[in-house]
Amino acid sequence: MSNVASLAAAALSETDGLLRLAPNWVPRSFLQPGRRLKLHPDHYYALGMHRGGIDERWFGSTTEAANDNRNWDEGLSYCVAGGEKFLLRDVVAELKGEIIGDAIWDKYGKWPVYSKFFDNMGPIPHHMHQNAEQAALVGQEGKPESYYFPPQMNAIGNNFPYTFMGLEPGTTKQQVVDCLDRWNDGENGIIDLSKAYRLKPGTGWLIPPCVLHAPGSLVTYEPQWGSDVFGMYQNLVEGREVPRALLTKDFPEEFHDDNQYLVDALDWDKNVDPNYKDSNYLEPIVSEQGDGYCDKWIVYGKVNGEQLFTAKELTLQPGAKCTIKDGGAFSLITTQGSGLIEQVTLDSPVMILFGAMTEDEVFVTAKKAQSGVTYENTGTEPLVTLRYFGPDAQPEAPANGA
């Protein structure tokens, strides 16, 4: 047994199937941090001004962030146990189905999903994420994703709490080609062809691949496929230039100057669907509730006919205790309050120093999740946690989806 395997096995034995995770911070050089991630105000540029500000915290991630000049482990979650730190990705590679369940390991050979908090001061460019076939052309994987706007993280909406999604019905491909042709002529006007939706804390969306979207400024919890591919179709946002390289980076090089190809890469029917909201907007649905607790589905449904990820929000009132069985392994983050998951402390911090450890994040094995996990609120305010699951883990989840 390797050192990682022995450390993980010892931790799992001690906690009955849980792994404590360290905060996993990711910067973006082309965005402005929204400063609601509870990171110390002096630490949003802890990786250097040249790297950009930290505007994301990734959860249960075995996916590398696709950033220029990145640290080798950027985007990868670390487990902390026995005074040691080791990658969750290495734990999964060593213990396989014992961690993520045999069904996911046998099909994917890895933990294929992750989630994040995404926190920006304003909107980000109108962009799409490639589908599996497109991403494979550049050695990557596609990226469907989902959104949930946690109320605890959104006391203030920042500059633009609206998201443009898709294109107005009746838009032509030539109009979008014309926008790309104007990349170096000032604002290319692509959002003039789109529609913005007001973002409401406590609700969410499914975002299929190849659909344009310009996320607004609410803090977003984003269960998604384990990939970091994208193409930015908007060249100027709030006066900030978007390099054309961010449009083309995940397309084959021979098509980087072919604007018709880049437009044809969009899922046109979904982008101009007049009923897009009906298929993709998500309101919470109660999964189960009892004395002092309520567990809700916050991400559910299928993308292109597949259940790729789901998520739940569990709220316990002070003194409440419950045991919940889930269909598969999950990663959990605490957004409010304090308490216990089994005998492991949960505590949502007020402020986090870059590099410091917290007690708000854990990963729970498939076996433990399926046998039942006990939660208890030991504090004086509600204990609220978010947890996301991998593909096909929750066959009882509600139907919805693109």
The DSSP element (H or E) to which 301 belongs, if any, is: none
- DSSP three-state, residue 235: coil
Judge whether residue 402 has pLDDT over 60. no
Alpha-carbon distance of 52 to 42, in angstroms, equals 13
Specify the DSSP class assigned to residue 399. P
Choose among 268, 149, 125, 267: nearest CA to 198. Answer: 149
| Residues 133-191 pLDDT 10s | 999 999 999 999 999 999 999 999 999 999 999 999 999 999 999 999 999 999 999 99
Does residue 384 lie in a domain region? Answer: no
Q: φ and ψ at 135, to 5 degrees?
A: -65, -35
Across the chain, mean pLDDT equals 97
String of DSSP letters for 108-168:
HSS--EEEEEE-BSS----EE---HHHHHTTT-----EEEE--GGG-SS--S--EEEES--
Does residue 33 lie in a domain region? Answer: yes
Q: What is the CATH number of the domain that holds 63?
A: 2.60.120.10
Full domain range(s) for residue 100: 3-282
Does residue 50 lie in a domain region? Answer: yes
Rounded to 5°, angle at Cα 164 from 129 and 268 = 55
Domains in the chain: how many in total? 1
> Is there a contact between 280 and 206 (Cβ–Cβ < 8 Å)?
yes
- DSSP three-state, residue 357: coil
The amino acid occupying position 152 is Q
Does residue 363 lie in a domain region? Answer: no
Does residue 357 lie in a domain region? Answer: no
| Better-predicted residue by pLDDT, 392 or 66 | 392
Judge whether residue 237 has pLDDT over 80. yes
Does residue 351 lie in a domain region? Answer: no
Strands (E), 24-89: 25-28, 53-59, 78-81, 84-87
| Residues 118-135 pLDDT 10s | 999 999 999 999 999 999
Does residue 362 lie in a domain region? Answer: no
| Residues 20-52 pLDDT 10s | 999 999 999 888 999 999 999 999 999 999 999
Tell me the average pLDDT across 302-328.
97
Alpha-carbon distance of 142 to 36, in angstroms, equals 29
Statement: the pTM of the whole predicted model exceeds 0.75: yes
Does residue 301 lie in a domain region? Answer: no
Q: What pLDDT does residue 401 have?
A: 61
